[in-house]
Structure 1
Amino acid sequence: MNAVLTPSVVHHERPIVSAAFLTDPYPAYRALREAGPIHWSEEFFGGAWLLSRHADVEAVLRDPRFSAQRTGGWVNDVAQERGELAGFQKLFARALLFLDGGDHARLRAVMQPAFRPDALARLRPGIERIATELLQGLEQEASFDFIEKVARPLPVRVISRILGIEGADRDEVMAWSDDLAVFIGAPDPTREQARKAQSSLLAMTRYLQDQLATRRKSAGDDLLSALLRAADGGDLRGEAELLAQCAMLLFAGHETTRNLLGNGIQALLSHPQQWQLLRQHPNRVPNAVRELLRFDSPVQYTGRRVVTDLTLHGQRLCRGDLVIALIGAANRDPARHVQPDTLDIQRADPGALSFGSGAHVCLGAALARLEAEVVLRRLLTLHPNLLFASTVPQWGSNPAYRGLVMLPVRSGQ
């Protein structure tokens, strides 16, 4: 991609994503916002426009001139030979995340009932039981890794219950999802990352095919059965589209929630006065979760393709150009939030773009918030004096899906 850059555009020759960025991306975001409204960087998929201000990011997420249907070039650009990743592309491109317009609305309508308030209310007791089971007894340990003990296993158990596959090998599911996250979150994925993602996606779909075969003999009230009924009724078109939605739900159902839990606890323990305030006022947990999402989003950016030539901040964007909407930067924009770098669980309007906006707002946003609320409430009850066991968090290497690899904590006295 060869962009024509006007003098008003900053052309970034140095990498934005670095070891320092992975530890703390917010200084880099601040510099981008202050330098100008639009930037060009060849670091993302060979060339992309970067938007870091809240108004611009939200507008792009809502504007149909910016399309989520970008996977064809994304996958094929990293393939060594034509057709090398055909199996991956066939499934990947049919997932709800990467569809627009009528197809997106059709698939969303099929899955939406499983995430409505009444459905989530029925799920809450089960989520509370899982959280209690994971957290009980940990106070007897000198320290424990919150990511390993809680943040990783809880979301995969919850989405497995929703789908009706509670007997799944959770370690295997998480490994498949990790490979997909590495590919999706890489600024410029390698062929090896794409191949691993394809291998894991195909392994995931083989497992799901076996599960669907069981549902065909004896359907239940789980989401897999609902998707199968939708396929039989014509609302899902073909086996590939059915499998793509099942795989997307299994992946997306725990990847971001895991990071929300880890990032949230890391933020609260780094601001002990906020943790103490939450202990004193547990009724503020729902607002606290929204503020934690804003403060350190589990999804830092997403991409869109320009559908038709347009002008943005005086710069000509051409059809097919890639735009990176920096969600993490938008959530810290002082034009939208007062003192954006301050964690404040009492913030009057902590609205964040962490789950997107517009037609593509995350289907499971309310479920992720519910899981975080349940975990916070159980921690306040079972581990009210929670402290760091190590002051140095270990952040992952995925710039899009920001999360901790390890978070050692202990129950204080």
Structure 2
Amino acid sequence: MSVQWSAAHCGGAWVISSYDGVAAALRDPRLSVRRGARWINRGMGNVSAELPAQRRFKRLFSRSVLFLDGRAHRRLRGVLHPGFKPTELDAQRPAIARIAAQLLDAIVTDPQARQGFDFVSRFARPLPALAIASLLGLPGRVPAAFVDWAADLAAFIGSPTPDASQTLAAQAAMEALCDFFAEVMQDAAALPPHSLLARLLQAYRQQGINRNEMLAQCCTLLFAGYETTRNLLGNGLLALLRHPAQWAALRAHPSLLRCALHEMLRYDSPVQYTGRRLLADLPVADRTLRQGELVILHIGQANHDPRRFTDPQRFDIQRNEGMHLSFGQGPHVCLGASLTLLEAEIAFTALLQRLPTLALPATPPRRQTLAAYSALDCLPLIF
């Protein structure tokens, strides 16, 4: 494992970018995900006195399953995991297919869309937010700002050095989401019995989790499920259209789709890196990383490690060289990986059937500037 020092991440961090190094670090219990409160403090660094809203944001944010280790992480993951079992996800397939069909109906019946439309705003952005809402047990009960709240939280988490504006936007989004989820859970009888919200509410009533933990997981499921899938849809379609032979092969052989999805994830990883804090000194090669230091695990670069993948810059939907790291590994492996793949499978199947003549116009796509994600703000398309 080799590391390099970078001043670009939160005032300074060690960056690990080899496949083997990142994979090992993801599994190493000496590297902790507990960093939520410190992140908020950094974002609000120019505010001298901590306000009650900021304290609540910290309490909620730091109780997300994404930012907990050990027993607390296992306990919360145990509450959420049954909702992501194959049988539960298979039950969501018709709902996700309906969402995809409705979004595509709106595009193909829009005369203006034939002159060009933005795939991100019309499809990639709403589909995962609406799909996770369905899994939570909220179909038809989603406020108009739902997608925007998810985006504000994702932008805060995706910034290597969040500023006060990003932090306050995320704080307001989490406050609004918590108010929304708290109101929904007051009418427990209206929740589908096997929905994730019903499971969380049951765990709270049985004192398996507290109120802050319950609300924090609701918010976590939204923005975590939103960002990865949205970026996979945008990045994946862009890669296919920039490689016409691959797009043609997938149209001719839809059975290649599952393999193609994993190549999309490897080729342009939705989450480029994740951060860890060292709980103990860690010897690496000829140096020692010290307890308390920040370590950046660069998933995007690891997925292009030539020691692991042949000609890694080549996009090949029939590549078969083992698993990428886009869903992580170890105790924090992505809980929603199967849901992301299910949504993407349904989405690309629908695109292949309904819009097989999709193409890139002269107007180039526009990328987000958040370094933690590989994400498109806009993907103009014609058909």
Q: TM-score, normalised by structure 1?
A: 0.87
Task: Please name the residue that 2:31 is paired with.
Answer: 66
Please say if residues 2 and 284 of structure 2, whose CA atoms lie closer than 8 Å, have aligned partners that are also in contact. no
1:126 to 79, 84, 95: 95
Distance in 1, Cα, partners of 2:148 & 2:102: 23
Distance in 1, Cα, partners of 2:190 & 2:93: 29
Q: Which shifted more, 219-228 or 97-106?
A: 219-228
Structure 1 residue identity aligned to 2:202: R
Task: Please name the residue that 2:11 is paired with.
Answer: 46
Task: Please name the residue that 2:278 is paired with.
Answer: 306
Structure 1 residue identity aligned to 2:38: G
Please say if residues 83 and 194 of structure 2, whose CA atoms lie closer than 8 Å, have aligned partners that are also in contact. no
**How far does the alpha carbon of each residue in 1:4-62 deviate from its partner, in whole angstroms, 9 at most, with x for none?**
xxxxxxxxxxxxxxxxxxxxxxxxxxxxxxxx931111211111001111111111111
Distance in 2, Cα, partners of 1:132 & 1:191: 39
Structure 1 residue identity aligned to 2:117: F
Structure 2 residue identity aligned to 1:293: L
Distance 1:78 1:144, change over 3 A: closer
What stretches of structure 2 of length at least 5 have no aligned partner? none
Task: Please name the residue that 2:338 is paired with.
Answer: 366
1:57 to 9, 22, 44: 22
Please say if residues 61 and 357 of structure 1, whose CA atoms lie closer than 8 Å, have aligned partners that are also in contact. yes
Distance in 2, Cα, partners of 1:203 & 1:137: 29
Distance in 1, Cα, partners of 2:250 & 2:200: 40
Task: Determine if the alignment matches structure 1 residue 288 to structure 2 residue 260.
Answer: yes
What stretches of structure 1 of length at least 5 have no aligned partner? 1-35
**How far does the alpha carbon of each residue in 1:367-404 deviate from its partner, in whole angstroms, 9 at most, with x for none?**
00111111111111111121112351110111112211
Distance 1:64 1:243, change over 3 A: same
Task: Please name the residue that 1:261 is paired with.
Answer: 233
Distance in 1, Cα, partners of 2:362 & 2:142: 30
Task: Please name the residue that 1:77 is paired with.
Answer: 42
Task: Please name the residue that 2:71 is paired with.
Answer: 102
SS in 2 for 1:127: helix
Count residues in correspondence: 375
Percent sequence identity over aligned pairs = 44
**How far does the alpha carbon of each residue in 1:262-296 deviate from its partner, in whole angstroms, 9 at most, with x for none?**
01000100111100111111001001000100000
Distance in 2, Cα, partners of 1:261 & 1:217: 32
SS in 1 for 2:311: coil
**How far does the alpha carbon of each residue in 1:183-203 deviate from its partner, in whole angstroms, 9 at most, with x for none?**
111111112221221111111
Task: Determine if the alignment matches structure 1 residue 187 to structure 2 residue 160.
Answer: yes
Root mean square deviation of aligned Cα: 1.6
Structure 1 residue identity aligned to 2:16: L
**How far does the alpha carbon of each residue in 1:98-149 deviate from its partner, in whole angstroms, 9 at most, with x for none?**
0111111111111111111111111112211221221136345312211111
Distance 1:66 1:132, change over 3 A: same
Q: CA deviation at 1:349?
A: 2.5
Q: Which shifted more, 261-270 or 37-46?
A: 37-46
SS in 2 for 1:386: coil
SS in 2 for 1:311: strand
Q: TM-score, normalised by structure 2?
A: 0.94
Distance 1:217 1:154, change over 3 A: closer
Q: CA deviation at 1:240?
A: 0.6
Structure 1 residue identity aligned to 2:379: L
Structure 2 residue identity aligned to 1:378: A
